Structure 1
């Protein structure tokens, strides 16, 4: 069998331009993206809708392909995934390895992290707790999770250094 390639033009371009630490959100069909959503998505996050019809594609169909064709080092999932969708949790961990899968509370931490993603990929999936955030990277020391989840980490680091000095 030949190596998988992304045929979706925008997805292929996105994956090829991801740099270390940038994130993409792979969402189920129920994840709102409009300003009228229960938890609106930030306007600066690009939305790429790949849904064709209910259940196509699913997150578990798209995720391994993205992982294979891209350079990813880690993933974020919700704490709820372990109980609500153990098969998806197992799939993600199989791709990332146990040390590179990070769990966050669904609300507000996981939803807050959506707004720091470069893109939001909407699938046709109707799975429960199947959303995954992939972190781009390469073989190097892992980026600390605290940096990924705290938008003020750089300023906090700067302030801590100035207090010492």
Structure 2
């Protein structure tokens, strides 16, 4: 039995295989996943709001080393509480792109993690760091 908080086997395997600079996009329920690219989609959405994006990122961070993050300007404009609560000391510096650019960038992600979040523009790209 695992000792960390992350129990989802696919998410744990994903984190274990990440290299420096690999990207993981954690999304709301409505973000389209790339269909024409070999991007893994880990679909956690159960029902609207479950799991939420904030709790998903919190648990993911219990195993994933993150050096920076990327968000859409539309996400920042909304000023939602879930985003304000993200631990900047853990997710590192921020890059800002448009929502369309984030969708295009998702094609380069190692994986897209779809949550049950139903808040518009609730999407964060986490960029993997190293622990040494």
Give the TM-score taking structure 1 as reference length. Answer: 0.71
- 1:118 deviates by 0.4
Q: In 1, Cα distance between the equivalents of 2:18 and 2:127? A: 9
Residue number in structure 2 paired with 1:138: 130
CA-based RMSD: 1.8
8 Å CA contact 1:27–1:132 kept in 2: the answer is: yes
Give 3-state SS (helix, strand or coil) of 2:62's partner. Answer: helix
Larger RCO of the pair (alpha carbons < 8 Å, separation 6+): 2
Q: Check 1:85–1:130 CA distance in 2 against 1; reply closer, same or farther (3 A cut).
A: farther
Which structure features the higher share of helix residues? 1
Going from structure 1 to structure 2, the CA distance change for 1:8 and 1:67 (only over 3 Å counts) comes to same
Partners of 1:61 and 1:83 in 2: CA distance: 21
Structure 2 alignment gaps of length 5 or more: none
Contact between 1:55 and 1:126, CA under 8 Å: does it hold in 2? yes
Q: What TM-score does the superposition give when structure 2 sets the normalisation length?
A: 0.87
Larger Rg: 1
In the alignment of these two chains, the number of paired residues is: 129
Contact 1:59 1:123 in 2 (8 A): yes
Q: Which has the higher strand share?
A: 2
* Contact kept in structure 2, 1:76 and 1:101, CA below 8 Å: yes
